Amino acid sequence: MADDHVDVLIVGAGPAGLMLATWLAKCGVKARIVDKRGTKIFNGQADGLQCRTLEILDSFGIGHRAWRESNHMLEICLWNPDSNGVIHRSSRLPDTIPGISRFQQVVLHQGRIERFFLDAINEFSNGGVAVERGVLPTSLEIDQSCVEDPEAYPITINLKHLSEEDATPKQSSTMSNGISAQDGLFRSNLMADDTADLLKTSELNQKANTTETIKAKYMVGADGAHSWVRKEIGLKLEGESTDYIWGVLDIVPITDFPDIRSRCAVHSANSGSIMVIPRENKLVRLYIQLTTTSKIQGQDSRTDRSWITPKVILESAQRILSPYKLDYRKLDWWTAYQIGQRVGSSFGVHDRVFLAGDAVHTHSPKAGQGMNVSMQDAYNLGWKLSSVIKGHSNRSILKTYEFERKAIAHALIEFDHKFSRLFSGRPAKDIMDEEGISMDEFRDAFQKGNLFASGIAVDYGRSLIVTKPVAENAASEATPATTSTPVTGIQELAPGLKVGQRIPSVKVLNQSDARPWHLQERLPSNGTWRLLVVPGDVSQSGQKSRLEKLCGQLSSPESFLRRFTPNTARYDSVIEVITIHGASRQSVDVFDFPEVLRPFHEVDGWDYEKIFVDDHSYHEGHGEFYKTFNIRRDEGCLVILRPDQYISYVGKLDDYESADRFFSEFMLPQNNLTLPKV
Ligand code: FAD
């Protein structure tokens, strides 16, 4: 394939673009990623990593870097005015709901997270893919006549290369305590988009004025809130801009406020609210509501932001935290922004050009969602694109991207709307004060919001890759591309493994060597579907014979394992079979299990990494897989997991036919076999 032909062109190397590039590199898809900026960011910007995001980073082998370097946020303290109007701590709550994940929320600046992705992309692509900086698209055409042809390159893009100067964002010269600090205003929505200016400047710059034309099968606009790609494909963000203006300071504080190393939401009686986020390297981030645009004497706040300085933000923080004192020696970064709550009318066109991240939804950053949801958009899209491009799946699965992620974006805006109102409002003086915010309501919303904010609550709707029962209101549901005779599993066989949600993790032991593993560690993001065989107590003859019947069908040459895996590929590269049995480990041996569960590879020999047991470990306790997920040992089940760890199907252990029908709906046979119809 010539270099001017790529499978995927990604525009924008923020968290969303980098997540996508990581997926594509991992799956061996030919991609290019361009960014108009000359460098990555080095400090400031987004900082919170929710526990689901950490699970995802871990599935790419980079979670431990974030976990180690970050500050772990374990506690939230709520501060409100007492009866004398003086702030006091009213509650302490766990920051992450205990037990929902093996990770808890952490904080680390966006630049480090981008670094981890850049390293992973380099490693996965053997140095073949790197962010091309100072490069931006200038035109986009889509040949609609061939968008449904999986082999076609319907997208033509012109790329322009900028000079280093053009590609460097201008910093406002901020001096504070005699120290200059980086600001994030060049990315703030209080600034007009500068893409057009950059294009113009570069036209004048003879050195930089090189262009190239490339053809792409797919294109993804991960180019942030001002998205050029979104405008080119004629899509809009719908929603409102609120009139709350927020300032952000990243400082090393000097203060007598006792909870400065906990996450705090502080409502003062009359001076506004502040969110305190303790960060890595003794930094603390302060989010402060400054004022409303309407108070800026009729001026458009986007054109006049000169009044917002670190000094103004600090003074505001000092008023809110009074009588405690607050100052700083080091200012690391600061910014100001206006909250807009908007979602794209659509997430792409022709299932060829897609939008992800801020390009398709914007909201306030207080709940630490922006970077997380943006990465999770790309995490949802990446494996689907790879699977289609590699010819494993037909294009129908691409429709589930918008179906799944638009619902999340709307839920996020609703959450943000509610949370912003509660956070930004003045605390009620008493129950008669109807204009004030009830602090009990705020605490309840905070606690409930924590599950949503963790990313764990994501629950995708019924589609051809999520076999939930047809909902009662199915007629009004925008369910993409479901089969005419839908596969529906039996959720009751594993009530704790909810179809549509990500698989929770507990520890299981390797049958062969007794090593305990978190189940999720055995589900790395590499583009592979997983068939979890959960046979129950295989020391009972009934369960053993049901397992043998299933394995007989799985090992037949016509089975879906064989049909959808290319002859030249490894046996577990498209669908991997993982067994978690419920007999005691000592009562069975690995060779008691049928060979399809522990395949033989002519180079590696037997695969000892596929059969696990729910049993006591020597040193790390007992994960209780069957008990935790409420699976009967005398019944068992089959579970199908998507490459992104979401549960597609739960059904009977020996119901091979339903699993086959599930995969046949969207997977493409690979080996030109003449196969009997299933
Ligand atoms: P971005 O991070 O915006 O990345 C887009 C990339 O595309 C950029 O690198 C840009 O240079 C590039 N690009 C743009 N246009 C083009 C073009 N035409 N051609 C080529 N490249 C282009 N979230 C939090 O969770 N916590 C926070 O504290 C927080 N603070 C924020 C402060 C500000 C001022 C802003 C604007 C956002 C903040 N956010 C915060 C939100 C968070 O940063 C974003 O949600 C997240 O970065 C979105 O990731 P993304 O990849 O979609 O977009």
Active site (annotated) includes residue 47: yes
Ligand 1 contact via 344 beta carbon (within 6 Å): no
| Catalytic residue (choose from 102, 230, 279, 502) | 279
Q: Measure 360 CA to ligand 1 centroid, in angstroms.
A: 11
| Catalytic residue (choose from 7, 35, 47, 259) | 47
Q: Measure 358 CA to ligand 1 centroid, in angstroms.
A: 6
- Reduced to 3 states, what is the DSSP secondary structure of residue 629? coil
CB 51 within 8 A of CB 96: yes
Q: Measure 287 CA to ligand 1 centroid, in angstroms.
A: 17
pLDDT of 617:
97
pLDDT of 163:
77
Ligand 1 contact via 357 beta carbon (within 6 Å): yes
Whole-angstrom Cα distance, residue 384 to residue 376? 13
Residue nearest to atom 11 of ligand 1 (CA): 37
Q: What angle do CA 281, 256, 249 make, to 5 degrees?
A: 45
Atom of ligand 1 nearest to the CA of 187: 36
Atom of ligand 1 nearest to the CA of 15: 51
CB 11 within 8 A of CB 359: no
Distance of CA 406 to the CA centre of its chain: 13
pLDDT of 52:
97
Ligand 1 contact via 81 beta carbon (within 6 Å): no
Ligand 1 contact via 187 beta carbon (within 6 Å): yes
Q: Measure 364 CA to ligand 1 centroid, in angstroms.
A: 12
Residue nearest to atom 16 of ligand 1 (CA): 223
Q: What angle do CA 374, 273, 416 make, to 5 degrees?
A: 30
Which tokens sit at 269? 């009686």
Ligand 1 contact via 643 beta carbon (within 6 Å): no
Residue nearest to atom 47 of ligand 1 (CA): 371
pLDDT of 604:
87
Q: Measure 34 CA to ligand 1 centroid, in angstroms.
A: 14
* Domains of the chain by start residue, with CATH: 5-453 (3.50.50.60), 474-664 (3.40.30.20)
Q: Which residues contact 182 (CB under 8 A, 6 or more apart)?
A: 42, 43, 44, 171, 332, 333
pLDDT of 433:
66
DSSP state of 207: G
pLDDT of 483:
54
The answer to whether the peptide bond before residue 323 is cis (omega within 30 degrees of 0) is yes
Q: Measure 184 CA to ligand 1 centroid, in angstroms.
A: 10
Amino acid at site 120? A
CB 47 within 8 A of CB 109: yes
Whole-angstrom Cα distance, residue 48 to residue 551? 45
Whole-angstrom Cα distance, residue 18 to residue 588? 45
pLDDT of 482:
57
If one counts every other C-beta atom within 10 angstroms of the C-beta of residue 433, the result is 12
Ligand 1 contact via 455 beta carbon (within 6 Å): no
Across 333-343, b (16+ Cβ under 10 Å) vs e yields: bbbbbbbbbbb
Active site (annotated) includes residue 598: no
Q: Are strands 353-355 and 348-349 parallel, antiparallel or unpaired?
A: antiparallel
Atom of ligand 1 nearest to the CA of 287: 28
Residue nearest to atom 6 of ligand 1 (CA): 12
Chunked mean pLDDT (size 10), the chain, 678 residues: 85 97 97 88 75 98 96 93 93 91 92 94 96 95 96 96 74 44 52 54 58 96 96 91 79 97 92 91 88 46 68 93 96 83 93 97 77 96 98 97 96 83 72 71 77 92 91 54 72 97 97 98 98 98 97 96 93 96 97 96 92 97 98 98 98 97 96 50
Whole-angstrom Cα distance, residue 595 to residue 463? 33
Q: 385 burial class (0-12, 13-18, 19+ CB within 10 angstroms)?
A: buried
Ligand 1 contact via 17 beta carbon (within 6 Å): yes
Measured CA to CA in angstroms, residue 475 lies from 56, 214, 410, 470 at distances of: 34, 42, 20, 9
pLDDT of 234:
96
Q: Are strands 175-176 and 75-81 parallel, antiparallel or unpaired?
A: unpaired
Which ipTM was obtained for this model? 0.96
CA 198, 199, 204, 205 dihedral sign is positive
| CA torsion, ordered 594, 600, 605, 608, to nearest 10 deg | -40
Q: Measure 388 CA to ligand 1 centroid, in angstroms.
A: 28
Atom of ligand 1 nearest to the CA of 41: 9
Percent helix, strand and coil across the chain, each to the nearest 5: 30, 25, 45
Ligand 1 contact via 637 beta carbon (within 6 Å): no
Phi-psi region of 172 (alpha: psi -120 to 50; beta: other; left: phi over 0): beta
Q: Return the axis-axis angle of helices 656-664 and 541-554, rounded to nearest 10°.
A: 30
Ligand 1 contact via 279 beta carbon (within 6 Å): no
Q: What angle do CA 59, 63, 68 make, to 5 degrees?
A: 160
Ligand 1 contact via 13 beta carbon (within 6 Å): yes
Among candidate residues 142, 167, 139, 140, the one with its CA nearest the CA of residue 152: 142
Ligand 1 contact via 91 beta carbon (within 6 Å): no
Ligand 1 contact via 166 beta carbon (within 6 Å): no
DSSP assignment string, 272-301: -EEEEEE-GGG-EEEEEEEEEGGGTTT--T
Distance of CA 284 to the CA centre of its chain: 24
Tokens 């993804």 appear where? Answer: 220
Active site (annotated) includes residue 287: yes
Active site (annotated) includes residue 516: no
Ligand 1 contact via 253 beta carbon (within 6 Å): no
Q: Which residues contact 640 (CB under 8 A, 6 or more apart)?
A: 529, 530, 531, 532, 647, 648, 649, 659, 662
Among candidate residues 165, 111, 110, the one with its CA nearest the CA of residue 133: 165
Q: 75 burial class (0-12, 13-18, 19+ CB within 10 angstroms)?
A: middle
Among candidate residues 673, 468, 653, the one with its CA nearest the CA of residue 560: 673
| Catalytic residue (choose from 153, 218, 244, 287) | 287
Ligand 1 contact via 136 beta carbon (within 6 Å): yes
Q: Which residues contact 147 (CB under 8 A, 6 or more apart)?
A: 154, 350, 351, 352
Which tokens sit at 59? 């599935």
pLDDT of 187:
53
Measured CA to CA in angstroms, residue 173 lies from 176, 180, 282, 309, 328 at distances of: 10, 7, 24, 11, 19
Q: Measure 12 CA to ligand 1 centroid, in angstroms.
A: 9
Substitution site in 287, 374, 379 for ligand 1 pocket (most atoms within 8 Å of beta carbon): 374
Whole-angstrom Cα distance, residue 108 to residue 73? 11
Could you give the residue ranges of the DSSP H alpha helices within 35-109? 51-59, 63-69
